[in-house]
Amino acid sequence: MKKETHYYYKYHFKTAAVSVANHPEIKTRAVAEALNIHPFMLSRWKKQMREGILRKDSNDILNEKAN
């Protein structure tokens, strides 16, 4: 059985993707394809942003301080 690969995206990447996808003339599917992510994931990030759920977690903060 093949082990699943999980990708973790930084807060900045998510918010940038959502802001582009929220443009009225750009489709979510086009943004997702350009970023090589699944459209459902981008739609979930858009929903999380609307609900105020999408925020920095401790790993993002630690990684940004290290760079």
Mean pLDDT of 4-13: 86
Q: DSSP assignment, residue 25?
A: T
Q: What is the mean pLDDT of residues 38-53?
A: 94
- Higher pLDDT, residue 8 or 38: 38
DSSP 27: -
What are the angstrom distances between the C-alpha of 18 and each of 3, 31, 53, 67? 29, 9, 13, 24
Instruction: Name the CA dihedral angle for 24, 25, 28, 31, rounded to a multiple of 10 degrees.
Output: -130
Q: What is the pLDDT of residue 5?
A: 78
Provide the residue ranges of all domains of the chain, joining segments of one domain with +.
Answer: 11-66
pLDDT given at position 4 = 80
- 13-31 pLDDT, tens digit each: 999 999 999 999 999 999 9
Q: Identify the pLDDT of residue 53.
A: 87
